[in-house]
Structure 1
Amino acid sequence: MARKNKVLISGWTAAGKTTHARLAAAELGWTYLDMSPVMKELTAVNGSRDWTPEQDDIRRRNRAIDIEADRRMLEMVSSGSSIIVDAWLQPWLYRSASAVRLWLGSSRTARTRKCAVSGLRHHEHLSGRQAAKVIRRKDGFARRQFARLYGIRFGYDPTLFDLHIDNSAYIAETSIAASDAGIREFQPVLMRRLEALLEAGSRR
């Protein structure tokens, strides 16, 4: 069996993929790889945010952007090792057994709170209703786009993912302090489960 030297993290909008992928990469001393710079380059939408509604509008009009972005990401994943990958579709597109596929689950309530907190970190004030709307829009676009392009039914699939871990309970309210506390509390939980899988894979 192939040595596990990649971790592919996926999940719905505002599940915490980027935050926990970056922290996991830092703790393991691995390389962090994400789709955001590739998508920014291909859509020519820059700025401090990893995602904007404008990006999805551009992608909707030109589906070739997603195909090229996924091709570039797959090439980087295939050519690297000891990497943590934050990209929605890589668990489906990267076929090698050298990867641990991790689905980061989070309830709609928790994701709405995290989306609003993300706005606060960028000095934007989103109401709960506005944050929920952002989540619905982004989730819906991703679901439709991935189905059209690849026939993929995006979501947790127990036959594909090696680890499903849920962080819904780790944000008690919509505040940066609560979010930071939840991140600190959840990250060790995630790392224990992830490191156990990596260690088991390395022994086979």
Structure 2
Amino acid sequence: MLAKPELKAEAIRLRLEERRSLSEIETAVGAARSSLSVWLKPYPLTEEEKGARSKLVNRYATPRKSHGDESKHNRSVIWQNLKPYHKGKIAEAAVLFRLALHGFNTYSSFFDGDKTDWMVQVPETGKILKIQVRCVNATNHHGLPNVLLTCTEGHGRRRRYQPGEFDFIVGYYLFNDTAYVFSFDEVAHLKTYVTISEKDAERWDKLRI
């Protein structure tokens, strides 16, 4: 879970570097809107940017059903009210459950400070894989949920995951109770995030290739 100074730093970074709106930043960092409004007040979007984002939202607006059927788990909570720590634990538990269902041997990371959430052994080959788990990042304003490919490293700074830090990254989406599986090679050309797709939904067979 990020401390408040780190949340503030990440919120400001998203505004300055990615020019995100208040609502998008609220979803990404999980901080209270009232706090975000104060932090971002010195860094407003220009009128041109606001107009461009409004057109983008309208362009990509899709019915809620495009995200799949809402899961009973999502109906039982208000996702925005959960703290980042709890969101992360929900995603990790959901992925661990699926790994066990598919017969993988799963362990916590062997190394302190490792970016890996789960170490997975493929029973047929004995191969060890590093699995990074993320919550799917989705806003209510467009139909493009995604999985962030960046991590926090000291004083709230974010950087791209490096080769060797994971073999697969799995994004868990509570709304439709679905896990999206990507190999490092599949996302190596992307800088910040990968958009979820049905072709990557529950693709645990990738771990055995």
Give TM-score, length-normalised by structure 1. Answer: 0.27
Q: Which one has the bigger helix percentage?
A: 1
Bigger radius of gyration: 2
RCO higher in structure (CA 8 A, sep ≥6): 1
Give TM-score, length-normalised by structure 2. Answer: 0.26
Q: Which one has the bigger strand percentage?
A: 2
